[in-house]
Chains A and B, each alone.
Chain A
Amino acid sequence: MTSITIQPQHKDKIVAQQQALQDPNWVRWGLIFIALSFITLFICGPLFLVIYQALSKGLTAYWTALSEPDTLSAIKLSFFVALVTVPLNTVFGVTAAWAITRFDFKGKSLLTTLIDLPFSVSPVISGLIFVLLFGAQGWFGEWLVEHDIKIIFAVPGIILATLFITFPFVARQLIPLMQEMGNQEEEAALSLGASGWKAFWAVTIPNIKWALLYGVLLCNARAMGEFGAVSVVSGHIRGMTNTLPLHVEVSYNDYDVVGAFASASILAALAIVTLILKTILEWKQAKR
């Protein structure tokens, strides 16, 4: 902003121009103050409270709460669900971004909108639709009961609901980036005789890898943190179908404040690690 080439002009004019390019100090500090207060109030406050409550009875109580069998099984389930959903949605995200950004076709806007849809569907509805589909009174209900296949109120139902919720994350991250990049680089590789597959691995992936990783990280955080939709399809069986966020609610309702916030702190820690990784990724990207 300050790199204005100085020409033999009138001094006052330069000062006026510089003033027009820079915010006055009071504005600058005022805005920083407002932004920081806002972030502190709405983001640091809640984060601090989670950590404070989790440690309110000391580290030992914190550790005991985390090593309870129900907590451990909730942690395990949440990781398992993320392990299944994130790779699937990553593959989808890359494929969809390729199709949308590398080709022109009718209904592209509609397709993008449909991909975004799970973002703005109420979590309650995301759960409800799977009950309508796989519940005993749902579409496939009778068939599932006959064949003794459990989807809802079991792990598959949780996975499906999570897939739905985290569906757009990777695609959304990649589409704007790949749109902006254009396809000249891939075209160059292709004209040099590379196969499409090779061009993708050697040209596209290196270009999008940081955005891709960030999308994966966000997708993962959301997969482990989803509450509303999973709550509808889980059945809340302790030690079996309670994911980490559900376990937080259960512990909280059991008057086990330390337990609740200890579990929440894992999710908060996960979020923070995600965010730190992301900052590092962005920094690396900027360096390139």
Chain B
Amino acid sequence: MNNIYTIFVAAVLAVLASSNVQAADVQILNVSNDPTRELFKEINPVFAKNWKAKTGDTVTINQSHAGSGKQARSVIEGLEADVVTLALAYDVDQLYQKRKLIPEKWQTLLPHNSSPYLSTMVFLVRKGNPLGVKDWDDLVKPGVSIVTPNPKTSGGARWNFLAAWGYALKHNNNDEAAAKVFVNKLFKNAAVLDTGARGSTTSFVEREIGDVLITWENEGHLVLREFGADKFEIVTPSLSILAEPPVAVVEDYARKHGTTEVATEYLTFLYSKEAQEIIGKNFYRPVDKDIAAKYAKQFKPLELINIAQFGGWEAAQKKFFADEGVFDEIYGPGK
């Protein structure tokens, strides 16, 4: 019996010890949403190299990816992120609203509303575009089956919804009732509502569900890269929404970890030419003018509306996505 205890204690100690090995150097935790996995996988080592050259310290950036809302909630509940890089400002704002983990004016602390990369929502269709989908109004036709995440749980899906709403307003003389009918038809065509953007991509690409996937522009390009441009193609609608995924240092936690400097530097680095190049390469739209021009040709031009036209996220959330908001009306029983 004694032997078993010895082995047990030794094993526990070994595991505890091994988890402390890396603690000598700086570690920061970047809590992010789903479609940024590949982006940060590429950016993090470059930043670590620069930081080492500049300060001599080794920095390890740990990543956590999941749906934007889930991530914000985890940080509020105590997931000690040094920085958050989420899908939309509303989720970051909750860090201030619920626990004052960040300053109220967090969005003014970094350039471009704290969004170092931009994107928009586009369509992904199967090769040859068998249904001839060109724009949002093709998606509401009967028999077209679309795949999008659920706006209740996914940040990207909220961008999808607002883009469709914006398109409908524009083509119906700003008639909200008509827009409601439009998005109603759109979401009635949804074959599956996954909880996150990546889940939707999987449903569309690997499960072969649906005719059209509405997704992040970068996610669409990523699918072409991962699964082959011979299987899918991207359709850019005439109008979409400018998605501004924001980043922020979670000051409360960073102060506690003593990582404020490196965390701030990390986010500032995202605006550097070097990082902006990687951002462009990963099919996000860079905010740096020169780099943006360089990568402009990979994005089709389109009319972009932005969240300000909806009165900001707080208002949009309340009107469209809160319980018994417009989205809940769409899925009202018996409709």
Contact = CB atoms under 8 A, between A and B. Distances in A.
Contact of A136 (B11, B34, B65, B77): B77
B12 A84 contact: yes
A180 interface: no
A131 B73 CA distance: 11
Given A83-B8, A237-B62, A253 B34 contact: yes
Interface residues of A, number: 29
Interface stretch (A38-46, A145-153, A220-228): A145-153
A118 interface: no
Given A135-B77, A153-B77, A235 B64 contact: yes
A278 interface: no
A87 interface: yes
A49 B8 CA distance: 35
Contacts of B77: 131, 135-138, 141, 152-153
B76 interface: yes
Contacts of B199: 253
Interface in A117-141: 131, 134-138, 141
Nearest to A80: B15
A153 B74 contact: yes
Find the residue from B74, B77, B99 having the highest chain A CB count within 10 A. B77
Given A87-B8, A131-B77, A136-B99, A237 B198 contact: no
A136 B76 CA distance: 7
Contact of B15 (A76, A134, A237, A238): A76
A153 B78 contact: yes
B71 to A, nearest CB: 8
Nearest to A235: B79
Nearest to A132: B77
A85 to B, nearest CB: 12
Contacts of B198: 253
Interface string B174-206: 000000000000000000000000110010000
Interface string B74-118: 101111100000000000000000110000000000000000000
A250 interface: yes
Contacts of B227: 255
Nearest to A249: B66
Contacts of A153: 74, 77-80
A240 B65 CA distance: 13
Contacts of A87: 8
Interface in A218-258: 235-240, 250, 252-255
Contacts, number: 66
Given A83-B12, A137-B99, A255-B226, A238 B62 contact: yes
Contacts of A237: 29, 62-64, 79
B18 interface: yes
Nearest to A141: B78
Contact of A137 (B11, B63, B98): B98
Contacts of A135: 77-78
Nearest to A144: B78
Contacts of A239: 62
A145 B77 CA distance: 11
A253 B202 contact: yes
Nearest to B27: A240
Find the residue from A138, A141, A236, A254 having the highest chain B CB count within 10 A. A236
A259 B155 CA distance: 27
Interface string A82-121: 0110010000000000000000000000000000000000
Contacts of B80: 150, 153
B170 interface: no
A74 to B, nearest CB: 13
B38 to A, nearest CB: 8
A254 B62 contact: no
A145 B99 CA distance: 12
Contacts of B202: 252-253
Find the residue from B8, B74, B99, B227 having the highest chain A CB count within 10 A. B74
Interface in A151-166: 152-153
Contacts of A144: 78
B37 interface: yes
A239 B226 CA distance: 24
A80 B9 CA distance: 11
A96 B198 CA distance: 44
Find the residue from A137, A138, A150 having the highest chain B CB count within 10 A. A137
Nearest to A137: B77
Contacts of A250: 65
A128 to B, nearest CB: 11
Contact of A76 (B18, B74, B78): B18
Contacts of A131: 77
A141 B99 CA distance: 12
Contacts of A254: 37
Interface of B: 8, 11-12, 15, 18, 29, 34, 37, 62-66, 74, 76-80, 98-99, 198-199, 202, 226-227, 256
12 contacts: A76-B15, A80-B11, A83-B15, A150-B78, A150-B80, A153-B74, A235-B79, A253-B37, A253-B65, A253-B198, A253-B202, A255-B226
The 7 closest A-B pairs by CB, nearest first: A135-B77, A136-B78, A153-B79, A235-B79, A253-B198, A236-B64, A80-B15
